[in-house]
Amino acid sequence: MRIRDYLPAAALVAVCVGWLAVATLRPQPGQTQIGVVFPPGFTGQDVLSRVADAGGRLVREGAWPFIAVIAADDARVLARLDELGALFTVNPLALGGCLTRPAATTPS
């Protein structure tokens, strides 16, 4: 058997894994805390002002200044965030470790 004989099966596996990743990372219905990713050029102040303008509350900052975990009590907050420049939203429970800033270490 040649490698091209395995290509259809490999493509099917790649599509299934990609679909599962998207389904897992999307915020779930009724979820009040949501990870929001803005363009990398945004500062923490830019993100905070856009979250406040959309009607959300900052829960914590992300690992980088353009990522935030917010509390959204109103379903329209996500639509307003899209209008204000958010690239996408993620489930912070699925990516909790990736959305947090590492703790500062002190020499001992």
pTM metric for this prediction = 0.68
Reported as a single tens digit per residue, the pLDDT across 15-33 is: 888 877 766 667 767 778 8
In the chain, the largest separation of any two C-alpha atoms, in whole Å, equals 59
Judged against a pLDDT cut of 90, whether residue 51 lies above it is answered with: yes
Residue 40 binned pLDDT confidence (cut-offs 50, 70, 90): very high
Is residue 71 within 8 A of residue 56, CB to CB? The reply is: yes
Find the radius of gyration of the CA atoms of the chain.
18
Q: Is the CATH number 3.30.70 carried by domain 3-90?
A: yes
Whole-angstrom distance, CA of residue 78 vs CA of residue 86: 9
Question: pLDDT of 66-99, one tens digit each?
Answer: 989 999 888 788 889 989 999 988 887 776 656 5
pLDDT, mean over the chain: 82
Any idea where the domains of the chain sit in the sequence? 3-90
Residue 25 — φ and ψ, nearest 5°? Answer: -80, -15
Q: Which segment, 13-17, 48-52, 57-61, 74-78, is predicted with the most confidence on average? A: 48-52
Instruction: Quote the pLDDT of residue 21.
Output: 72
Structure tokens at 63: 């690992």
- Confirm if 61 and 24 have CB atoms less than 8 A apart: no
